[in-house]
Structure 1
Amino acid sequence: MKFCCSLRLGLSALLLVTSGFLWSAEDKGLFWHVTSSAGTAYVLGTIHFADQSFYPLRKEIIDAFEKSDVLIGELDAEALDGKKIAKILAKETQLPKGETLKDHLNDEVYKKLKQYFQQENVPFKSVERTKPGWLMMQIMTRYIQKLGYNAKDGLDRHFMQRAQGKKEIIGLESLVEQLRLFLELDDADALVSETLRSIDTMDSELAALVKSWKKGDEQQLELLLIKKPLLTEPKAKPYFDRFIWQRNKKMAKKISLLLKEPKRYFIVIGSGHLVGNQSVLVELAALGMQVERH
């Protein structure tokens, strides 16, 4: 079960490191300047979900965005196309025809899951053909929204909307690639059980992550997102390698290739990808980029 705890924390962290969480002008946040022999980029670390109280954005960040030629996000402008997203979700998140959650969960876990949705007044029939990994993401999303935060106020969406029709928008990953990270998980019983068990304590974890990010404390974020889960259960290392470190290498490689062009880039990446000794920034430095914290 310790590994499952790390898995749940990791999934929670991924919700917090794949998109944007806005902040007020007084908040420091995570912001870097990266340069190569040709191009230059400002890199903004984000956290997912926000509300209007986190505006306005820091002037330094807005100025860097306005001066940029290209916006680079984890996803490209496709993430703004509701019809495309709905089509992809319908294809990727549903179990094969004829299968339901009962075919993927033991009787005890299946019963607990049904009870959860009854308590939430959600018809179980509406979710019984959903893949377990996606369903757990939706449960966590639902909980975060209850705390008052919404994806529509997210930072990635904010900058994509501002850039649309004005700047080139490049994605480092596809929506399908990101989805499959959550969908292709082992041990559905453990994942569902731990997610349901941990919902009541997730608010304190989120609060700690948000507080550290707003202070610009990258060391504390690394502790919360990476070091603490790995200390709790070292066997979770392959999980982090798949969800964080291997993606960091791929992102850094793509960014380094883009920076060979004499352009100005504004890059928005989840904060979990920008902390630690295997971060995107460390990988960029190893590839010959100059990295400076702002």
Structure 2
Amino acid sequence: MKKITASILSLCLLTSGLSSVHAAEKALSISLNGEAIQFNQSPAVVEQGVTFVPVRLLLEKLNVNVKWDKATRTVTGIKDGRSLSLKVGSTNAIANGQAVDLDAAPKQIRNVTYVPLRFVAETAGYQVAWNQTLRQVSLTSKHQSDESQGFLWKVEHKGNTVYLLGSIHYVQEGLYPLRPEIENALKAADYLGVEVDLSKIAPEELQKHILDLGIYKDGTTLKDHISPDTYDKVTALLKANGLPENSFDSFKPWFVQQNILGIIVGNEGYQSEIGIDQYLIDKANQANKPVVSLETIDSQFQTNNNYSDALQEKLLLQTVDPSAPVTLAPNGGIDDLSKMWIEGDDNALNEYTNSSDWDAEYHKALLTDRNVDMAEKIKGYLNSDKKETYIVVLGMLHMLGDQGVVPLLEKEGFTLERK
């Protein structure tokens, strides 16, 4: 995904959770640090919940030195001081010098030796994650997140402390844990602040917002509100992803765009379930730490719903056809924004947010207006007499630029320290 410009910002700046349409069951896929592994003529298989893959191809992809003993039908692997040994037909294995019992024994299928994927990958030093919706197994180098920086500031006033973290709502596996300064900020906080805590929103409430704002009630359908060319591109994308071509006929363009974009980035291995804000929400809940929302699901729906008809179609068109001649925001796909977060590049973030390539309506609705409201909430935390500590997590593009939350607080006289 090299070019999804303005459309991707909806997922980077608005909390996800709008999707009401789910794809048909997909074929099993396996990725390594975000790149798909192709097993060609010997595809992975799942038996009783265990994923089996061809051992030689897997170990070579993981840069493990592999040896096969034909007489004993035993495979061994060594990498960076790690080692493993498995025998076809046996649940007894060796992992880094220790005897272990496997959930399922290695086997041969059409003269190819298959082994349990999770055991081999974890023994070789990789994190393993399963996405049921995407039917995707993700393998990630455990050191991949070691140098992730992110965007973190600290501000103190009247005995109160706010850690301000710019986040991305969709990430790939391997980002966690976050660097110690961020993890420790959550531990020190009395409260976690996020845009919207979706875990507190009942399904029926979310459904009500979809019915109120996302669906046409006048008897018209999507094709009555967008060009035939845009509609044809929507139906083609749905068909390509195993969905009925009329899946979104009842919905407004902004809602269709959000759902389709979720499908696209999901196919690229980006997941909201492990987004930075959701990761911190889960940790706060485990620690019985209160989570507060700076916005409401209604305000986020209204932001989208209040876009002009022209802007809604432009966003939808750019999502289904990134090559379309539509300019709404600076060029940059989700890979670029993820890289910006990992590197913690303030200059790049500031330059992106201040770019002259923004559509004025889009910039004002998505950034300016919301930044003012959220800065006011944070100012309230800092001016409180309660002497409390917050970590507030917002989409990273809310942070900098001339009208970002950080400069807005600085204009109010607060001193923010970049961490």
Residue 205 of structure 1 deviates from its aligned partner by: 2.1
Residue 143 of structure 1 deviates from its aligned partner by: 0.8
Identity score, percent: 26
Choose from 5, 8, 11 the match for 1:9. 5
Residue 78 of structure 1 deviates from its aligned partner by: 4.9
In structure 1, the partner of 2:376 is 253
- 2:197 and 2:335 map into 1 onto residues whose CA distance is 29
Which string of whole-angstrom CA distances, capped at 9 and with x for unpartnered residues, describes residues 165-221 of structure 1? 722222111011112212222214433333222079x99622222112211102212
Structural mapping, 1:240-279, within 5 Å = 240-261=363-384, 262-279=387-404
The answer as to whether partners of 2:191 and 2:292 remain within 8 angstroms in 1 is yes
The answer as to whether partners of 1:19 and 1:47 remain within 8 angstroms in 2 is no
CA, structure 1 residues 60+189, in 2 after alignment: closer, same or farther (shift >3 Å)? closer
In structure 2, the partner of 1:100 is 221
Choose from 301, 304, 316 the match for 1:179. 301
Partner of 1:249, secondary structure, is: helix
- Segment drifting more, 116-125 vs 242-251: 116-125
The answer as to whether partners of 2:13 and 2:366 remain within 8 angstroms in 1 is no
Choose from 160, 174, 181 the match for 1:53. 174
The answer as to whether partners of 1:71 and 1:266 remain within 8 angstroms in 2 is yes
Residue 19 of structure 1 deviates from its aligned partner by: 5.0
The answer as to whether partners of 2:375 and 2:409 remain within 8 angstroms in 1 is yes
**Greater relative contact order (Cα < 8 A, sep 6+):** 1
Choose from 337, 340, 344 the match for 1:212. 340
In structure 2, the partner of 1:72 is 193
Pairing 1:161–2:282 present? yes
The answer as to whether partners of 2:7 and 2:315 remain within 8 angstroms in 1 is no
The answer as to whether partners of 2:163 and 2:392 remain within 8 angstroms in 1 is yes
- 1:157 and 1:85 map into 2 onto residues whose CA distance is 17
Pairing 1:113–2:234 present? yes
> Normalising by the residue count of structure 1, what TM-score does the alignment of the two structures yield?
0.85
The answer as to whether partners of 1:18 and 1:47 remain within 8 angstroms in 2 is no
The answer as to whether partners of 1:18 and 1:269 remain within 8 angstroms in 2 is no
Partner of 2:166, secondary structure, is: strand
The answer as to whether partners of 2:230 and 2:317 remain within 8 angstroms in 1 is yes
> Normalising by the residue count of structure 2, what TM-score does the alignment of the two structures yield?
0.61
Query: Of the two, which has the highest radius of gyration?
Result: 2
The answer as to whether partners of 1:78 and 1:84 remain within 8 angstroms in 2 is no
Residue 82 of structure 1 deviates from its aligned partner by: 4.3
Residue 39 of structure 1 deviates from its aligned partner by: 1.1
Partner of 2:321, secondary structure, is: helix
Residue 263 of structure 1 deviates from its aligned partner by: 0.5
Choose from 170, 183, 187 the match for 2:292. 170
The answer as to whether partners of 2:223 and 2:231 remain within 8 angstroms in 1 is yes
